[in-house]
């Protein structure tokens, strides 16, 4: 890898040990991934800027100190490019209800102060693209949150490899990323073709398609053919699923996404290495795999994975208007703070709360480990996928409307 004089000076430690450490990381990572140079980054979305939350439970006090020290260190330098934050590990909403949050609120307030000084926008969301953090086509990004990486590569045509918190932070502080993978045009060509024959009616169906696509693609780039124009909510579900069942970084949808106006463009003139068909039976198979609460018993309804859009919050409010959520059910809508504010102004939050539901921000059940060991209804394949593994939950998977109706009925409605 060839460095500029300025980059070499930082690597040699002439700008101090902290910047040297960041540069060493980008240099080693870039060299491993066969990058030839470091290029300018335009936008960063970084995880780990948060109090440790559940991470602290079961760790030694020294290890917890280490995690907190690391967060502190990460906020010592002003960022060079627009930088926003992935979800926190605790929520400050209804914090008095949970001991974990009470204990860590002070550190979270310290993080907020330091992040402001460092120039970091505390969006604390897994879906920054729904609150205006949306890079333009061709812009180079260093984003964490695999579903958001898939979204901006595929839907916006921006360019980001999948990042960890360490590489994203290094990119924010130094202003560069190693050039490899989908940052290069030739690595954005489709690898396999998925012919879509099933009807896609709801955002859930797009989630099921994405889950199937991720299983077929693994780390490769799938190209979907036969898909009609779809909503941001559908794209969000599809992106999240692709990065849950697989390690997909981007996809194309022929005639829809910005680098796939034709099949030929999607494959950059090449041939797919394989073809798979997503028909009604494939769709049902994914649904059956993720729907484990087969007896219909549920006690928790989770909306907003990835974080809910204003339209999704509105839909929930409309379905709940004048109704009561069943006593045995806890309904939570997770949405970015910016959307929560807007939803308050529009009265949606009040409607949901009057029905007995909650609207929460900053984190999610899978990250904060709230709601462990429950039977959870969700319209998100990603939440179903991880909540089973992470939280040991049983999951009921259905459309958004089905989830809300089930919350009112007190049992899963099919």
Residues engaged in binding another protein (CB under 8 A)? 25, 28-29, 32-33, 47-48, 55, 58-60, 63, 66-67, 143-146, 149, 161-167, 180-181, 218-219, 243-244, 246-247, 366, 385-386, 389-390
Q: In the complex, what is the shortest distance from the CB of residue 349 to another protein, in angstroms, rounded to a whole number?
A: 29
- CA torsion sign for 305, 307, 311, 317 is positive
We find the least distance from the C-beta atom of residue 246 to another protein, in angstroms, to be 6
State in angstroms the smallest separation of the CB of 342 from another protein: 27
Nearer to another protein, 211 or 230 (CB): 211
Nearer to another protein, 27 or 267 (CB): 27
For 173, phi then psi, to 5°, come to: -75, -40
Considering the complex, state which of residue 166 and residue 332 has its C-beta at the smaller distance from another protein.
Answer: 166
- The least CB distance from residue 103 to another protein, in Å, is 18
Residue (38 or 320) nearer to another protein, CB:
38
Please identify, using beta-carbon distances, which residue of 7 and 144 lies nearer to another protein: 144
By C-alpha distance, which of 138, 190, 175, 193 is closest to 160? 138
Q: How far is the CB of 143 from another protein (least distance, A)?
A: 8
Q: Which is nearer to another protein, 52 or 357 (CB)?
A: 52
The nearest distance, CB 70 to another protein, in angstroms, is 9
Q: Residue 403's closest CA among 387, 386, 380?
A: 380
């Amino acid at each position: 890898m060839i460095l500029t004089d300025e980059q070499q000076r930082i690597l040699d430690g002439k700008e101090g040990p902290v910047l040297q450490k960041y540069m060493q990381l980008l240099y080693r990572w870039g060299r491993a991934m066969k990058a030839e140079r470091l290029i300018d980054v335009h936008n960063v979305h970084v995880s780990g800027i948060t109090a440790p939350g559940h991470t602290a439970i079961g760790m030694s006090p020294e290890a917890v100190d280490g995690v907190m020290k690391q967060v502190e260190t990460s906020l010592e330098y002003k960022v060079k490019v627009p930088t926003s934050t992935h979800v926190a590990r605790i929520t400050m909403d209804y914090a008095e209800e949970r001991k974990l949050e009470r204990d860590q609120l002070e550190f979270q307030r310290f993080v907020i102060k330091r992040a402001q000084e460092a120039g970091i926008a505390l969006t604390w969301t897994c879906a920054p693209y729904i609150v205006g953090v949306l890079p333009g086509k061709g812009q180079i990004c260093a984003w964490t949150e695999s579903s958001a990486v898939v979204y901006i590569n595929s839907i916006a045509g921006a360019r980001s490899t999948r990042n960890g918190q360490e590489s994203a932070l290094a990119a924010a502080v130094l202003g560069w990323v190693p050039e490899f993978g989908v940052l290069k045009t030739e690595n954005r060509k489709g690898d396999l073709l998925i012919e879509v024959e099933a009807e896609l009616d709801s955002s859930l169906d797009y989630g099921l398609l994405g889950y199937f696509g991720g299983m077929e693609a693994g780390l490769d780039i799938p190209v979907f053919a036969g898909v009609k124009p779809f909503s941001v909510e559908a794209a969000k579900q599809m992106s999240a699923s692709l990065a849950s069942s697989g390690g997909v970084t981007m996809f194309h949808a022929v005639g829809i996404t910005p680098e796939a106006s034709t099949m030929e463009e999607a494959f950059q003139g090449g041939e797919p290495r394989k073809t798979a068909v997503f028909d009604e039976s494939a769709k049902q198979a994914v649904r059956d795999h993720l729907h484990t609460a087969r007896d219909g018993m549920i006690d928790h309804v989770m909306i907003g994975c990835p974080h809910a859009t204003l339209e999704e919050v509105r839909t929930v409010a409309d379905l709940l208007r004048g109704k009561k959520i069943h006593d045995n059910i806890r309904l939570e809508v997770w949405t970015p703070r910016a959307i929560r504010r807007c939803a308050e102004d529009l009265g949606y939050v009040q409607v949901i709360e009057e029905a007995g539901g909650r609207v929460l921000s900053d984190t999610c059940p899978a990250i904060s480990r709230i709601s462990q060991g429950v039977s959870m209804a969700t319209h998100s394949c990603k939440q179903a996928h991880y909540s089973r593994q992470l939280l040991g939950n049983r999951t009921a998977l259905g459309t958004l409307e089905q989830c809300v109706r089930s919350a009112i009925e007190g049992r899963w409605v099919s």
